[in-house]
Structure 1
C-alpha cells in the first residue's frame, strides 16, 4: 500500500511528530510510506526518520535556502481553507492553502492521513476521490473550542475514518459528533522498546518529563515532593522539559528549600537514558490526551505514579499492578503514592517488571498492525486482511504470554 501522512512540521519537537515517525517507520517495513510536512524550518529533523520513509515539505521557511517561501505574497495573506477555529491558524496562509491543495489533488496513494484537525479539514475538502481519508486526533475532542467542534462536524463527514488515541475520546466522538458513515476507532500512540537495559529499581530518583506548562501541574508535584523529602531525604526528583512555567517552578523550588532535591533538567533527547537512571516515574497532569511519558517510563521498567486524569492514564496503568493512580491535584495523595513505592523496594521492583511487560502492547509493531487492519477494511484489500489475521495471531500469542506473566505477578503479590 502507498500511505501518505500530512503533518504540520516534521522538523520540530513534539509528541505528534515522534509518534508519527514511530508509526510511519514501522509501516514502511511492508508498505510505501511518505511523510509530507507542511513546513520546514531546519535542514535536519530533530527525530531521525527511518531511511525507508520519504520525507518532503510543502513550504520552506529556511531563510538561507534557495527555495525560501517567506517572500511569497500569499504567505502574508490569511488562510481560507485551514480553519480559523484551529489553534495554529495564524501560521497558515493563502500560500499553505494553495500548496496543500496542489499536493492533495495530485496525490496518488491508497491512504492519506492527517495529523491535526486543520489538516484533516484540508483532506476532507481537497483530497481527490480514491484514497481512503483518515483524520487522526492527537488531542481530545473535549479540549477543542465550540467553534472548532462545529467546524469538524461540518467537514469530518467527508472522511472515511477518525482515529483517537484513547477509548474514552472515541466514545466522546461517537456521542457528541454527528459523523454518519465515518468509522471512529481508538488506536493508541506507539512507543518502541528502548535499546537500553531497563531500570533496576535501585536508583533513588523520581523522574518526570514533559512541557513545563500549567496542565502538567509540576507545582503540585514539587509540593508533594516536599512531603517525600520530609520522610525520605535520600531521594531526589528530576523534571525534564522546557516551557513557560520554568521560572515559576524554579522560584517554588527555592521557596520550599528543595534546591538540593528537585532539579529542572531542561529538555533531553532521547529520554530513555534518563528514565533508566530513575526508579519511579511521576505524572501530575490535570489533563492528558494520551500519556506518552507514562508509556515511555514503563517501557524503561519504571512504575509510574500518575494522576487519574482524563483521558489516558487510566487506560495505560493497571492501578496497583504496574503503577499507581491518584486523584488529580491532591498533594497528599501524590506524596503517599510516591512514598509507597519508595519505602517498599520489593513492591517497586515488582511493579517495574510488570510495567515493562504490560507496556509491550504499545510496541509500534502492534499499533501498526491495528492501523493496517483499518486501512485494509477502508480500501477493501481482502488479501491483505488475510495476511494481517496471521500476523495478529502471532501477536495475540505473544500478548497471551505477557498476560500469563502478569497474572503470575499478581498471584505473587497476593501471596
Structure 2
C-alpha cells in the first residue's frame, strides 16, 4: 500500500514531528510504501531520524516568506505562493498515485481535497477541534480562519482525534470520527530516573498555550520552601524572555535549556515533570516522562492530561487553573520520596499503553479498511 503523509515541514523538535517520524518509520518497516510531502522543508534536516526507504518530497513553496511583507504586497505574495503550491501538489499526487493521503497540516487541506480525486483522506487532529477558544487573542479573523479549517476537516473521509474529548467536539459537526492516541517514544531501556535528584523538569515550546505565567507563579510558591530544588526548562519560544526576566528578578533556581535530541536522558536526570498548559491535544511529554519513571503533575485541561494521568496513582491532575493546589502537590512530591517511588513504578507501567506495538496496529487496521472500502466502491462502478 502506498501512503502519503502531508505536512508543512519536519524541521524542528516537537511532538507532532516526533510522532510523524516514528509512525512513518514503523510503517515502512512493515512493508508499506511511504511518502512524506512537505511545503516548507527547504534545507532543514529532519530533527528525528527517518528510514532511508521513506520518499521525502519537498514542494519548496516557502509559505512563510509572505510574512516578510505587509498589506497588499503580502496578499499578492500569498496568492502567488498558493497558486504555486496547488500546481505542484496536483502534479505530485498524480505522479505518486497513493492509496491513502494522511493530512497533518490543516492549512493545506482544501487544496488536497480539490486534487485527490477518489483517494481517501485521513486527517489527524493535532490542533484540537476548538483550540482557538482557549486562545486569549481570539479575534474575528481567527474565528473565520477556524471555520475555514473545520470545513476542510469535515470534508475528509475520516478525522482521527487523539482523545475522546476532542472526538466529541468533532462529532458535533462531522460524521466519521475515530479516536487513536498518539504513539509515544517510550523509554525502551532498563534505565530509569532514580527520583533522588532535586530537579523538576518542564518540556515544551515556550508559548502562551503552555501556561508559562502559571509555571512561574507555581515556582514562586514552591522555591522558598524548597530552595535546594531546581526547575529545568527545555524549549524555545517567545515566552523565553519572560522566564529569563523572572529568573533575574526573583533569583530563582530556573535553568533554560535548548530542546534536546536526547530528552530521555533529561527525564532520567529529573525527579518530577510538570505541565501547566491551557490546553493539550494530547500531551506527548507526559507518557514520555512516565516511561522514564517520572511522576507527573498537570492541570486537568482539555483534553490530553485527563486521558494519561491517573490522579493520585501515577501523578496528580490539578483543577484548572489552581496555582496554589498545584504548588502544594508539587511540594508533597518533593517532600515524600516514598510517594515519588510509588508513582514512578505506576508511571512506567501506565506509559506502556502508548508504545508503538499497541497503537500502530490500530492505524494499520484503519489504513487497510479504508483502502478496502475504496476498492469495494470501485468494483461496484465497473
TM > 0.5 between the two? yes
In structure 2, the residue matched to 1:302 is 294
CA RMSD of aligned residues (A): 2.2
Aligned residue pairs, count: 351
Shift of the alpha carbon at 1:122? Answer: 2.3
In structure 1, the residue matched to 2:379 is none
Of the three residues 128, 141, 146, the one matched with 2:143 is 146
Superposition TM-score, scaled by structure 1 size: 0.79
Q: Is the 8 A contact 1:125 1:158 kept in 2?
A: no
Q: Is the 8 A contact 1:36 1:57 kept in 2?
A: yes
Alignment partners' CA distance in 2, 1:208 and 1:157: 35
Q: Is the 8 A contact 1:106 1:128 kept in 2?
A: no
Q: Which moved more, 1:164-173 or 1:44-53?
A: 44-53
The reply on whether 1:194 has 2:187 as its aligned counterpart is yes
Shift of the alpha carbon at 1:95? Answer: 1.2
Q: Structure 1 263/113 Cα, relative in aligned 2: closer, same or farther at 3 Å? A: same
Q: Structure 1 191/254 Cα, relative in aligned 2: closer, same or farther at 3 Å? A: same
Of the three residues 321, 344, 352, the one matched with 1:352 is 344
In structure 2, the residue matched to 1:160 is 157
Alignment partners' CA distance in 2, 1:310 and 1:250: 28
Matches within 5 A, 1:379-390: 379-380=371-372
More RCO (CA 8 Å, sep 6+):
2
Q: Is the 8 A contact 1:132 1:160 kept in 2?
A: yes
Q: Is the 8 A contact 1:59 1:99 kept in 2?
A: no
Of the three residues 259, 274, 280, the one matched with 1:267 is 259
Shift of the alpha carbon at 1:369? Answer: 1.0
Q: Is the 8 A contact 1:207 1:275 kept in 2?
A: yes
In structure 1, the residue matched to 2:45 is 44
Alignment partners' CA distance in 2, 1:206 and 1:222: 13
Q: Structure 1 335/156 Cα, relative in aligned 2: closer, same or farther at 3 Å? A: closer
Q: Is the 8 A contact 2:210 2:278 kept in 1?
A: yes
Superposition TM-score, scaled by structure 2 size: 0.86
- Tell me the SS of whatever aligns to 2:38: strand
Shift of the alpha carbon at 1:348? Answer: 0.5
- Tell me the SS of whatever aligns to 2:316: strand
Alignment partners' CA distance in 2, 1:154 and 1:221: 35
In structure 2, the residue matched to 1:251 is 245
Alignment partners' CA distance in 2, 1:195 and 1:76: 50
In structure 2, the residue matched to 1:225 is 219
Shift of the alpha carbon at 1:146? Answer: 3.3
Stretches (4+) displaced over 6 A:
none
The reply on whether 1:241 has 2:231 as its aligned counterpart is no
